[in-house]
Structure 1
């Protein structure tokens, strides 16, 4: 049965043939987009620099300075141990029995918020978690328009806040077919079109790549 998982070397060679074909218009277009941002090493270096807390704070200062006080407040709460730990939360819910129970941490469920749209909500959420001794979610998804969020400074503020608390963050790029270009959206096949990309115009793949690298760097 396991041999059914074998990938035929001929098929891999066919894939490499497409990726390495110097006459392929698709691959040339792909490489032209990437070249706008530099080599892979340069792109990753720019990303690491952009995600440094001091650089995120610089962007917040430029576009949304009011958010800085909430970011500093969040750092202070984290550093003083204001948030309940998982062990403390287990004891709160289960009592003394928690000390004698085995938890499968490798199969832990991730609390997720979908969707986190505006930065001010982060502090409200944190204040409630501290006051009520509840857990903070560890993953956040945003679907607000990226350009709008970037322009008013919410984007760097949210990224900084979630880095402060150690949470993961997913942004929905604007290139997703909701501008009417994908006929599958809004109907029974919405999930197919929205998440699978089926029905997207061919050039959307390049637009998505361009947008991704813009925000990545």
Structure 2
């Protein structure tokens, strides 16, 4: 790319000033509503501090203990399996599939494929998956997608907390799908050819759903 073309990517200062003017305008209703939702949960620093504390593994386990959750024993079992090296490693899996060729074959980890499960709806399934991975010498997935209703999870013996703890134990990443996503009939694009645009892009959502989503996000954060 020549420098003249690159220069066209520059954001002019007056355009940034216009954005700041909107964000800082005390009469801006949308920003005022946004800040009002945030204020329900405290200052930015307080919100982040609480979230950091809440996601610590010892705190998650303590909350599950307070709930008398049946999932607590499963989490202790999962930690024991991890600590004793019960799960097959990537190197071992390669040897199991490729045999002696695995020792000489180069692997480019920059292009590694992530085994993803979509969707992990119930915590007990994860434990069954762990049992199967150990028994059959299979790789455990490294990423999980969840789309079960949040309120339903919340009422299920600490399911949300148990999954959050399990992800830390096995070193996996995961994503929760919040309930504010237009599937209640609010988004006119869902169910038709524009479903992906509406579901993932938020196109077609009523304006107040952005605030509802923020409220729900901070509640679970």
Q: Contact 1:119/1:157 (CA < 8 Å) preserved in 2? A: yes
Shift of 1:61: 2.8
What residue in structure 1 maps to residue 98 of structure 2?
94
Shift of 1:67: 0.8
Matched, 1:8 2:16: no
- Paired positions, count: 216
Q: Contact 1:84/1:135 (CA < 8 Å) preserved in 2? A: yes
1:1-217 map, 5 Å: 1-63=5-67, 65-152=69-156, 153-216=158-221
Q: Which runs of 5+ in 1 are unaligned?
A: none
Task: Tell me the SS of whatever aligns to 2:175.
Answer: strand
The RMSD of aligned alpha carbons is 1.2
Q: What is the distance in 2 between the residues matched to 1:17 and 1:109? A: 44
Pair 1:54–1:157, CA change in 2 (3 A): same
Q: Which runs of 5+ in 2 are unaligned?
A: none
Q: Mean Cα displacement is larger for which, 129-138 or 74-83?
A: 129-138
Q: Mean Cα displacement is larger for which, 109-118 or 85-94?
A: 85-94
